[in-house]
Amino acid sequence: MLKTSSVSLFKPTVVRKGTRTKSAVWWLAWRDRTTGKLQRCSTGARDRSTAKRIAAEHERCLVLSPLGLYDAARVGIPKPWAEAVQEFLDQSKARHRPDTTIAYRYCLDAFAKLMKPSLVNNVTTMTIEGFVRGRAEQAVEPATINKDLRHLRAFLRAAQRRRYLLQVPSFQSLFVKEDTRTPVVINDDDLAAIDAVLTDGLLTLQFRAVEWWRVFLWLATYLGLRRGEILGLTWAKVNLQTAEITVVSTVSKGRRDRTLPLAPQLLTLLQAWLATQGKIEATNEVLPLGDVKQRRLYDDWYRILKAAGLPLDRHFAPKHCRSTCASNLITAGVPTVVVKDWLGHASVTTTERFYVNTAPALRAAASARKLPSP
């Protein structure tokens, strides 16, 4: 047994498959100074050096406690950063969409590389300020920094619920000011050029076929679906008889189901795509991705744009198909509250701020205005 002042480290005996053996995880033991009772808890650490650091931190907590006893609600349970992160990500996998868990992982990995925290309760407001400065020095966009801060705050709140942290540091003044950008709209000529290179049979792509991309393009542009909603769409949710598709909450960022009508041309496109798939099950994905990582799709996407002859300063991302859909609906006179439901937003504010470019609608409104006759 290793001793760190009044705190001891030990490996308890456990029974595995009928055999008594030592635990792989180090535990803490200390005596309550008020009652004299022996207290124990797991460090969650397998290597001795990490366990010794946790024991030293635990000893510090005992010394700082005004009553001279351990109180998890007041000082927090010393927990290694890496193990707390893994617990959080495992819980996220069970509760959130895969994209959300991946975003959490990217953020927490970036924080660990920059700040190198050993224990969760070592993270303070000053630590987070250093993270923000480090990300800015890496030329990370303000919007990405703010997203990282939101993910980090979610992790620390979960750590507080597990009593690994006494109090979540204040994030109030740490968010970076973002420039409000006008949502990008892909005009009809550019969409026609993209569609042409997907139908002329001359373009060869690396990861997905041009037919796959043509279905993706019009699901994103006509229906305004998110990338995750498109890739998570199954044939069970495509009703070719009623010309409707249903986006389910499990693949939607909005966490709610919504049913959208299909235009005749899009219905025909889906029927033709289905005919090329051979024998399928209802649970099969409409646009199967296989082993291809989603980020590799951008290689194909930019090859399509280059083949379409679009200048570099007009390169669009797939997400701009969604803002194009929203702006086209507004231009067509569709009320914003309907556009909100079409896109699956929780509030009209999100629709207006991030997805609607009113310039086409303003031009249409100007054309409809008449000057009085002289």
Give residue 245's pLDDT band: very low, low, confident or very high (50, 70, 90): very high
- State the average pLDDT over residues 354-373: 65
How many angstroms separate the CA atoms of 83 and 79, rounded? 7
pLDDT digits (tens, 9 = 90+) for 139-155: 998 989 999 999 999 99
- State the average pLDDT over residues 359-363: 64
Identify any residues that bridge with 28 across adjacent strands, giving them in sequence order.
9, 41
Residue 61: CB partners within 8 Å, gap ≥ 6?
70, 75, 76, 78
Q: pTM of the full predicted structure? A: 0.63
Q: What one-character-per-residue DSSP string does 161-190 give?
A: HTTS-SSPPP-TTTPPPPP-PPPP---HHH
pLDDT digits (tens, 9 = 90+) for 198-243: 998 888 899 999 999 999 999 999 999 998 899 999 999 999 999 9
**CATH 1.10.150 domain residues, the chain:** 81-161
Identify any residues that bridge with 16 across adjacent strands, giving them in sequence order.
19
Decide which of 1.10.443.10, 3.40.640.10, 3.40.190.10, 2.60.40.1930 is the CATH code for 188-317: 1.10.443.10
**CATH 1.10.443.10 domain residues, the chain:** 188-317
pLDDT digits (tens, 9 = 90+) for 55-101: 777 776 666 554 444 444 444 677 888 889 999 999 898 888 788 89
Here the tokens at position 24 are 């792989």
pLDDT of residue 119: 83
Buried b / exposed e along 126-164 (16+ C-beta atoms within 10 A): eebeebbebbeeeebeeebbbebbebbebbbebbbebbb
The class that CATH gives domain 81-161 is mainly alpha
How many angstroms separate the CA atoms of 351 and 336, rounded? 8
